[in-house]
Amino acid sequence: MEQLIAHAARAVQLLAVLTPVDAHRERLRLVEDLRAGRHATPCWTYAPRGHDELRHALDAAERALLQGEGAPLDALYLARIRELSLEAALCAAAGTDAVARLAAERFAPENAPTALAASALCDEWLALPPGDDAGSLVTSDDPDPCSLLSRMRAAVGELRLPFSVVAKPSLAPLAATGERVVLVATGRPVSDEDAVRTVLHEIEGHARPRARAPHASSVLFRAGTARGIDHQEGRALLIEERAGLLGPRRRRQLGARHRAVELMQRGASFGDVADALTTSHGLDAADAVLAAERVFRGGDGTRPGLGRERVYLESLLRVRAHLSARPQDEDVMASGQVAVDAADTLRPYAPGPGAPVP
């Protein structure tokens, strides 16, 4: 069971598969259209992955667990297997109508009160003034020591983390952490504040927990629990907040992504969303296109896409409230991709005091 979950977690690369092929090239055209007042409509292509054998194996594992005694750890296995099955189905459906239905199930709000609170926070953050000018900008993959790529490599090297840092042209976010790799977007102008914040987010929020996970005695630290990846994003934002790096520009950015999901789910197209973000919320065309791209990935820009961006605000609220009430759970969450609801069950399996801390 554990071997299957570990294999599935490595094999099912949801965001990679649902990112359009050569997205960075199409992004330039969409920004030009938006700036020229034309309706921005993406022409995306995908490389779906069927995962047929893996999905059959996950289905069999689910049936076996349903016939078991229902121990607490088995319940976590079952929830993660179901989540991986859903993500594998999304990989197979990339670019088709089925993405909207599957994504709505995978990224449905965990509960109504948190969803309402996140929507209110989105309103509050979008109403903030843009803040001070970003200051001098350095291209994300420039050889300059102050570039995001250089800073990320320096942080990984200083902490001796078992990760490579790789420039990735098609990446929509500034950076992303995967299995033993931290990806950094290319050709993007980045302020000093955003470079510092992004390094903190990826290293403390994602890379260090992944580096600690192999020292745990349960595979769920490495392979993640259900919603573990989502809640890790919430904790990464909480780390930004504690460091004083969740400033007005960052909050407006996060609010814009959340609003883009809400607009998409009400029937707006990619072009409608990008236009609304510029005209109603004052985003630059490039930022508006990036936000819409992240929200609509997996689809064609006319029907709903993945909509994963809603997890950021919702998970921030959940993780912040949970750790405020139960600060002892942070060590568990900092040791892998662990959801708040799984921390109690997994505490006995967390890395001990003698485990290496990158």
Give the model's confidence band at 318: pLDDT under 50 very low, under 70 low, under 90 confident, else very high. very high
- Residue labelled with tokens 């995967």: 178
Q: Above pLDDT 90, what percent of the chain?
A: 94
User: Which structural domain, as residue segments, surrounds residue 142?
Assistant: 2-349
Position 244 in a domain = yes
Give the model's confidence band at 316: pLDDT under 50 very low, under 70 low, under 90 confident, else very high. very high
Flag whether pLDDT at 356 surpasses 70: no
Position 171 in a domain = yes
pLDDT at residue 72, rounded to an integer: 86
Overall domain count for the chain: 1
Position 80 in a domain = yes
Digit-coded pLDDT (tens) for 206-222: 999 999 999 999 999 99
Where is 178: in which H helix or E strand? strand 175-178
Digit-coded pLDDT (tens) for 95-117: 999 999 999 999 999 999 999 99
Q: Chain-wide mean pLDDT for the chain?
A: 95
Give the model's confidence band at 354: pLDDT under 50 very low, under 70 low, under 90 confident, else very high. low
Contact 255, 126 (CB under 8 A): yes
pLDDT at residue 133, rounded to an integer: 62
pLDDT at residue 134, rounded to an integer: 65
Digit-coded pLDDT (tens) for 50-74: 999 999 999 999 999 999 777 889 9
Digit-coded pLDDT (tens) for 248-278: 999 999 999 999 999 999 999 999 999 999 9
Position 354 in a domain = no
Residues 6+ apart with CB under 8 A from 327: none
| Mean pLDDT score, 307-315 | 97
Position 63 in a domain = yes
Position 355 in a domain = no
Phi-psi region of 20 (alpha: psi -120 to 50; beta: other; left: phi over 0): beta
pLDDT at residue 170, rounded to an integer: 87
Give the model's confidence band at 328: pLDDT under 50 very low, under 70 low, under 90 confident, else very high. very high
Give the model's confidence band at 331: pLDDT under 50 very low, under 70 low, under 90 confident, else very high. very high
Digit-coded pLDDT (tens) for 139-178: 999 999 999 999 999 999 999 999 999 999 989 999 999 9
Position 327 in a domain = yes
pLDDT at residue 37, rounded to an integer: 96
Select from 332, 331, 330, 307 the least CA-distant residue to 319: 330
Q: Above pLDDT 70, what percent of the chain?
A: 97
| Mean pLDDT score, 331-346 | 97
Digit-coded pLDDT (tens) for 20-37: 999 999 999 999 999 999
The two most distant CA atoms of the chain are separated, in Å, by 62
Flag whether pLDDT at 86 surpasses 70: yes
pLDDT at residue 173, rounded to an integer: 95
DSSP SS3 for 177: strand
Position 357 in a domain = no
